[in-house]
């Protein structure tokens, strides 16, 4: 990073200059506000380190002007005499650190590491946004359809905020991908994303999974355990299948969301975490409320920002795009040679009903690839696969709900490997 040091005291100025250089950045140092104005023009610094009192002006003002010209600029105030007024003014101007002289090199190192990390993250987010415009890609999501354009826009908007998000959509329509993308596009991207299936296990276990427990709090609790709420601190927590959550857990969760603190099972200490809750369901939440399966007050807490994913059949123009994306991915994974689409095969996929949505499409593409001997995926191959995987004879696999170990598996890898099985 290019760092402009604005400091009138010669010894401090020289010291800062060499410290910044030692940290691997490119310094330039000046002693007055007037010189700073010229240096900002020519040198175009990424970061300004300014002293508050300069012989010909005010350092915070220097930063403010520099930032007006380039809003992504960062500022560090260094001062000999901290005052509440100048600290408040500095914060208002958008300065990221307010440091007291004399500065220790270690302190400076931490400040610069943090600035660098944030700048990388921001440029990654910019790259992701730019990618969307060009290729119809947003994070892991692919689409060029009008129906999904609304979803993409919602994802980008909400990613910047901290609002709780509720994602609804049929099974396999991409709810988890949306949740991951929101996380990746947010300022929380470098903190963990944790997915948790609310219907997975019994209440005692679920409570301890979510909130953790203290040693000896129940039979079998031989060690302290950190729950997902603590694990995802700073990041995002996906609560999946919220309509499958028991009534007791709903009460507990509502209380935690209202109080913004919780206790580990058997614990006495209130724990506060900073995370974004994303929840998801493949059922109509309003129906679930009517049926008494979902508490209305909890629903309103979770549903600050709703995102409704359209089923695949409402975005048929995405089918060839997704099919090609999965084909390439599978080709890389299976390493069984290049196999291209016969256009007629894509036509068949486009016309299909897809009750299992994008996941079903991915599975069909995978099987079509494996069934193809030559270098072209033929329409007959695709046609033969379709009746076997669609219609009422099939059920999406929901095994994750049935046992503890599977819940953990879900948490690690997500349900991406889930497929379909015949109901016999
Ligand atoms: N827009 C998309 N672009 C690329 N891949 C997608 C898209 N939507 C879904 N997928 C893929 O489809 C599969 C299913 O998506 P996901 O697991 O997010 O669905 P879901 O709605 O959470 O399903 P369920 O209700 O069964 O939990 C995943 O492999 C995912 O990567
Ligand atoms: Mg899911």
pLDDT in tens, 111-147: 998 888 888 777 777 776 666 656 678 888 999 898 9
> Ligand 1 pocket, 319 CB below 6 A?
no
> Ligand 1 pocket, 181 CB below 6 A?
no
Cβ neighbours for 66, distance < 8 A, ≥ 6 positions apart:
4, 36, 40, 45, 48, 73, 75
Which range, of 81-95, 150-164, 406-420, averages the lowest pLDDT? Answer: 406-420
> Ligand 1 pocket, 261 CB below 6 A?
no
* Torsion on CA atoms 180, 186, 191, 194, rounded to nearest 10: -30
Whether 385 and 367 have beta carbons less than 8 Å apart is answered as yes
> Ligand 1 pocket, 415 CB below 6 A?
yes
Measured from the Cβ of residue 202, the count of other Cβ atoms closer than 10 Å reads 9
Cβ neighbours for 163, distance < 8 A, ≥ 6 positions apart:
276, 304, 305
Whether 200 and 407 have beta carbons less than 8 Å apart is answered as yes
Provide the token pair at 404.
């503890």
Using CA atoms, how far residue 115 sits from 3, 25, 99, in Å, is: 12, 12, 14
CA nearest to 399, candidates 383, 415, 387:
415
Which ligand lies nearest the alpha carbon of 397? 1
Pocket test for ligand 1, best of 141, 148, 174, 312 (most atoms within 8 A of CB): 174
pLDDT higher at 239 or 132:
239
Using CA atoms, how far residue 155 sits from 147, 280, 299, 302, in Å, is: 13, 14, 20, 16
In angstroms, what is the span from residue 263 Cα to ligand 2's centroid? Answer: 28
> Ligand 1 pocket, 169 CB below 6 A?
yes
H/E run at residue 240:
strand 236-240
pLDDT band at 385 (very low <50, low <70, confident <90, very high): very high
> Ligand 1 pocket, 174 CB below 6 A?
yes
pLDDT of 132 reads: 64
Strands (E), 299-362: 305-308, 340-341
> Ligand 1 pocket, 184 CB below 6 A?
no
In angstroms, what is the span from residue 143 Cα to ligand 2's centroid? Answer: 18
Which range, of 86-95, 224-233, 370-379, averages the lowest pLDDT? Answer: 86-95
pLDDT higher at 405 or 12:
12
pLDDT of 403 reads: 32
In angstroms, what is the span from residue 418 Cα to ligand 2's centroid? Answer: 10
In this predicted structure, the answer to whether residue 44 has a pLDDT above a threshold of 80 is yes
In angstroms, what is the span from residue 232 Cα to ligand 1's centroid? Answer: 22
pLDDT higher at 407 or 232:
232
In this predicted structure, the answer to whether residue 206 has a pLDDT above a threshold of 70 is yes
pLDDT of 387 reads: 66
Mean pLDDT confidence for 355-360 = 96
Please report the atom of ligand 1 found closest to the CA of residue 280. Answer: 22
CA distance 139 to 6: 40
């Amino acid at each position: 990073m290019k760092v402009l040091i604005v400091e009138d005291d010669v010894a401090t100025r020289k010291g800062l200059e060499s410290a910044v250089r030692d940290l691997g950045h490119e310094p330039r140092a000046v002693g007055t506000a007037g010189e700073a104005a010229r240096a900002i023009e020519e040198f175009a610094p990424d970061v300004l380190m300014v002293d508050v009192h300069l012989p010909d002006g005010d350092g915070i003002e220097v930063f403010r002007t520099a930032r007006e010209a380039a809003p992504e600029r960062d500022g560090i105030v260094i001062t000999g005499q901290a005052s509440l007024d100048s600290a408040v003014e500095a914060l208002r101007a958008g300065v990221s650190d307010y440091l007291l002289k004399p500065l220790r090199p270690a302190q400076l190192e931490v400040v610069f590491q943090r600035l660098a990390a944030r700048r990388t993250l921001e440029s990654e987010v910019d790259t992701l946004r730019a990618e969307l415009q060009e290729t119809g890609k947003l994070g892991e999501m692919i689409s060029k359809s009008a129906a999904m354009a609304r979803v993409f826009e919602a994802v980008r908007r909400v990613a910047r905020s901290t609002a709780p998000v509720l994602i609804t959509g049929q099974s396999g329509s991409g709810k988890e991908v949306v949740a991951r993308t929101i996380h990746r596009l947010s300022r929380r991207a470098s903190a963990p994303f944790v997915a948790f299936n609310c219907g997975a296990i019994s209440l005692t276990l679920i409570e301890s999974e979510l909130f953790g427990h203290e040693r000896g709090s129940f039979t079998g609790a031989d060690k302290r355990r950190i729950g997902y709420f603590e694990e995802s601190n700073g990041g995002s927590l996906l609560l999946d299948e919220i309509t499958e959550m028991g009534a007791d857990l709903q009460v507990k969760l509502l209380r935690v969301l209202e109080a913004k603190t919780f206790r580990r099972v058997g614990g006495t200490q209130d724990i506060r975490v900073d995370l974004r809750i994303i929840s998801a369901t493949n059922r109509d939440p309003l129906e679930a409320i009517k049926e008494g399966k979902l508490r209305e007050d909890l629903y309103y807490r979770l549903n600050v920002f709703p995102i409704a994913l359209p089923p695949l059949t409402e975005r048929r123009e995405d089918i060839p795009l997704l099919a090609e994306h999965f084909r390439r991915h599978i080709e890389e994974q299976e390493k069984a040679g290049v196999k291209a689409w016969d256009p007629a095969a894509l036509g068949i996929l486009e016309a299909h009903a897809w009750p299992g949505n994008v996941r079903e499409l991915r599975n069909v593409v995978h099987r079509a690839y494996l069934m193809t001997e030559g270098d072209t995926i033929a329409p007959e191959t695709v046609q033969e696969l379709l009746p076997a995987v669609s219609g009422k004879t099939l059920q999406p696999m929901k095994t994750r709900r049935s046992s503890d170990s599977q819940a953990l598996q879900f948490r690690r890898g997500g349900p991406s490997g889930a497929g379909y099985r015949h109901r016999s």
